[in-house]
Structure formats: C-alpha cells, structure tokens
Amino acid sequence: MEPIFAALCTGKIGNRPLKNYTCLYYVFVILSLLICSCSESVKKPRVVSYYPLLKLDIQDYPDFRDDNDKADLVRSIKQSIIYYKRVPQSTLFKFGEETYDALHMLRSLEYFLLFMEIDPSHGQINAFIKKHYAVYTAVKEHSPDAGGEYAPVKEADTQVLFTGYYEPSIPGSRIKDSRHPYPLYSRPNDLIIVRPGLFSSKYKGEPSLSGRIDHEKRELVPYYTRAEINAKKGYEEIAKPVAWLESRVDRFFLEIQGSGRVVLEDGSVMRVQYNSKNGRPYRAIGKYLIDKGEIPREEVSMQTIRHWLEAHPERMDEVLHYNPGVVFFQEGKGGPYGCLGVEVTPMRSIATDVSIFPKGSLCFIETTIPAWNGDDVKKRDERFPDGRGSDGVWSDGGASDGGASDGGASDGGASDGGASDGGASDGRTSDVRRSDGRVPLDWQSYSGFVLNQDTGGAIKGAGRADLFCGNGPYAEHVAGHMKQAGRLYFLVLEK
C-alpha cells in the first residue's frame, strides 16, 4: 500500500503521471479499507435502558388471573374510553421505545371491552391477550456503568411498591358550631397559580407554582404554610369553608386522600373534591414519627398514626405542621375523580407517575392485600353507633400517612404511603403487635386488571403505584395498611 500512497501524494507512479480518475479510484479503495478496519475496532453491542417499560416476550407474560368483579372492570374501562375520546386523536402515548396515538389507545380498550362483555373464562383471557396484545412490565430506573452501558434487567428492577387510597366519610356541618370548629377550606381568593411554560418555552412541561402577592414588596412569594394558615386570624374570610368538621385529624387525612364525603347532621351527604393546593411540598408525618422514635417503622399505618395523634393532642401542632402542604376543596357531585377528569373505580383504578406512564391505559397488577377481618376495623361508636355513616358507609381518613394524594383528584390521588413510612412488605403475616394493641394482619395474594387513571405528588418513578380502594370499612382497612411489593404490567393492542 505504501507505493500507492506515495503515488497519490506525488501524482506519479515512477515517472508516469496518474490520470484524475485513477487517483479517485485509489483514494476510494484506501478510504474503504481504513473505514472497515476502524469500524471493526470500535463496534460494540448496543445495550439500552428499558426504563420505565420493557416489552415482554409472550413466554414471559404473567398469568392473567382476575380476582375482582368484572362489572367494575367494564365500568372502569368505559371511563378511560371517555378520556381517549376527549383528547386529540394524534396525542401520543409512550410504551418503552414504541408510541401509540390516542385513536389506537381507544381501539385497544374498545376491543378489550368487547371481549370482556362475553364474560370469558380465565383460560380464554390468557389466550386472547397472547394473541392480540403487547405486554410491558414496569422497570425501575437504573444507572449505566462507566462505559455508558446498562446491565440486563433483574427481578428486583421490576418490583413495584403498592399502597392504597380511599374515599373517607366523616361527620361535619355546613355551619360552624361548638361541635364542628374546624374549617375545611375552599380555594383562597389570594392564591395565584403560575404556569412557567406560559412565560418561556424553556419552562415547557414544568409544574405549576402556587403563590400570593406581597403588596409591601410588590412581588410574588410562596403561599402560606400549614402553620401560617392555622395561625392566621380571619383566614376563613380569605378561604371560605366548604364545611366544618369535628376533628382536626379527620381534616388532615381528608386532605391526604384528596376527596371524601362529609356526613351532615340531617343525614345528607356532601361530596367534597380537590380544588387546589398551597404549593408547599408534601412531607409524611409517619416518617417524622418514626424518626422521633414514637412509632416503630414496621407498625406505621394510617390507623397507628391516627391513634398516636389522638393520644397526644398537646403535640398536634408539632406533628401536623411538619407537613407544610395544604389542600383546598370544593363541593362537587359524583366522583371521586382522578387526574383524567373521569371517575375512579374501587379496586380497578390506580395512580402512577403519569409523567412516565401512559394515561388511561389498561394495566394488570400482582400484589398482596389485607384479608378482611371486621373486628380489626376501628369503629367510632360515639360518632356513628352502628359503625357507619348516615349514607351507609364508614371511613375516617387517610392511608399510611398518604394512601391517596397530596392533592387527590385531578392533582394527586396517590400516596407516598408505605414508601417513606416503612417500606414494602413481602406479603407475609408479621408477628409484630401494632402500637394500638391489635393483633397482626393476614395477607392474601391479589391480581387483576386496573386502569391508570390517577396520579399523585408523592407517586414518583416506575417503582410506585397506588390502588384506589373505594369507600367504607374494607376500603379504609386496605388503604390504611397496604404497602406491598408487586408487579405492574401495561397492555396495548398490537399494531
């Protein structure tokens, strides 16, 4: 090759000049050889991150055993269909490295709904999905190695922490009196919502901010914290109460759930729903009580947190003010509603991080839930003698210090529940007696189809999901204790 290279440099072979086309030919040959040799030395296999969804081979599909009422599934699917009909058909939904438009998502659910309405058997469901649907598993985010490559997905990467949230029923009144001294605030008239994306394209997609005008400084400042609101005289003139409640603890857990039912003294029921929030971060008081040594980590639940608060009224401010975030409500009809603006269905709707998971999509979950034991439900006989509200249901607030949202409904709907308050259970019965003196819970396996219809400020990443449990004693029971490991799958009709 050296004589040829020298000839290209001098334009001659010996004493004979090279013609132009001959030069070009030799240049092409040499460059081709160089490129081939270089490509062989740098070529490496492409290893990618599968976060947040990994498409499964058919042999890796789970067993689609559904443990719940199919009528509820049909109702929940119809709610997501409403959502897909509202959004532009060109709206894209990402599943791993593939995308589907809203029209395809709509057809995917309609096809599944048509099949479910024939009441198929367990075997027929599995065969139908294998034939027609792509299945993706949720995968936690993990970092590449020094060479920029990702290790193969492991079993631990697909584990999801499931918590629960529900719709509480609590006693209240439309007017303030000695029995109902605690206001449930509506949106304050001085609350300003700022959407950064309206000011510059570089802020597109950034979350909204909540603030107020400081008239002396003539500037926008963060809105009042929980402690500042509780200390501010005449605040009910700024944020007119939707209702007045008996218990400050009830109010706190209602904020965490994001929506609920207020049972009035005349027996009627007021539905209250999320409107807005003060923009301050949600901080789990369960974690605070753990850090202070007040409740052992393995015993934390909504029930034990409530029990501790009611046993220590002198420390109520200290603990509740640890969470500076406040939710504001409005009276509504129907619901509760998730972040898609459609009703969520008990045991058929979940809340996830919708910044990474496709909204409204059909999902399948595998986890464990508390077995039902009526004696384990705390009845407040002095408030509801038969253990139920006047509307025939009983509940009293929160789940795992956040079984629902820090904003509920259209903002939240999902907890940080067990995550920061004690971690996931492996589903086995614990031999630890809870701090309120009750015996341990029994757990049972649970799997079923759900729809991704809600989100929450505390539900972040691919390793978290919140199951909506409904209203009543069992819903409170499940949501109050659930912080279980499991698997989360997403299904979509093959193109």
Burial 247-260 (b: 16+ CB within 10 A, else e): bbbbbbbbbbbbbb
Residue 20 has pLDDT above 60, yes or no: no
Can you give the length of the chain in residues?
495
Compute CA distances 98 → 9, 95, 363, whole Å: 51, 5, 17
Angle of CA points 366, 368, 374, to nearest 5°: 140
Q: What is the CA radius of gyration of the chain?
A: 29
Q: Answer whether 476's CB lies under 8 Å from 377's CB.
A: yes
Range with the poorest average pLDDT among 84-98, 156-170, 410-424: 410-424
- Residue extent(s) of CATH 2.40.240.50 domains in the chain: 160-195+224-485
Instruction: Name the 3-class secondary structure at 8.
Output: helix
Angle of CA points 120, 125, 131, to nearest 5°: 130
**296-324 confidence digits (pLDDT tens):** 998 888 889 999 999 999 999 999 999 99
Instruction: Name the 3-class secondary structure at 161.
Output: strand
Q: Answer whether 398's CB lies under 8 Å from 253's CB.
A: yes
Handedness of CA 85, 86, 91, 94 (dihedral sign): negative
In this predicted structure, what is the pLDDT of residue 453?
Answer: 97
Compute how many other C-beta atoms are within 10 angstroms of the C-beta atom of residue 231: 12
Q: Answer whether 329's CB lies under 8 Å from 275's CB.
A: yes
pTM of the model as a whole: 0.72
In this predicted structure, what is the pLDDT of residue 140?
Answer: 87
Tokens of 208: 């909204």
**375-396 confidence digits (pLDDT tens):** 544 433 333 333 333 333 222 3
Compute CA distances 418 → 296, 444, 479, whole Å: 13, 18, 10
- CA torsion 93-98-101-105 (nearest 10°) is -80
Residue 275 has pLDDT above 60, yes or no: yes
Give the residue, 120 or 442, on which the prediction is more confident. 120
Residue 5 has pLDDT above 60, yes or no: no
Averaged pLDDT for residues 121-136? 97
pLDDT confidence bin for 492, thresholds 50/70/90? very high
Handedness of CA 244, 245, 250, 252 (dihedral sign): positive
Residue 155 DSSP code: G
Averaged pLDDT for residues 258-282? 93
160-195+224-485: CATH topology is: Ribosomal Protein L25; Chain P (2.40.240)
In this predicted structure, what is the pLDDT of residue 51?
Answer: 78
Measured between its terminal Cα atoms, the distance across the chain in Å is: 53
Tokens of 47: 């290893």
Residue 366 has pLDDT above 60, yes or no: yes
Range with the poorest average pLDDT among 59-63, 101-105, 196-200: 196-200
**99-123 confidence digits (pLDDT tens):** 999 999 999 999 999 999 999 999 9
Place of tokens 């490991």: 485
Mean pLDDT over the full length of the chain? 80
- What pairing do the DSSP bridges indicate for beta strands 169-173 and 259-263? parallel
Tokens of 414: 């999902």
Give the residue, 340 or 435, on which the prediction is more confident. 340
pLDDT confidence bin for 258, thresholds 50/70/90? confident
In this predicted structure, what is the pLDDT of residue 33?
Answer: 52
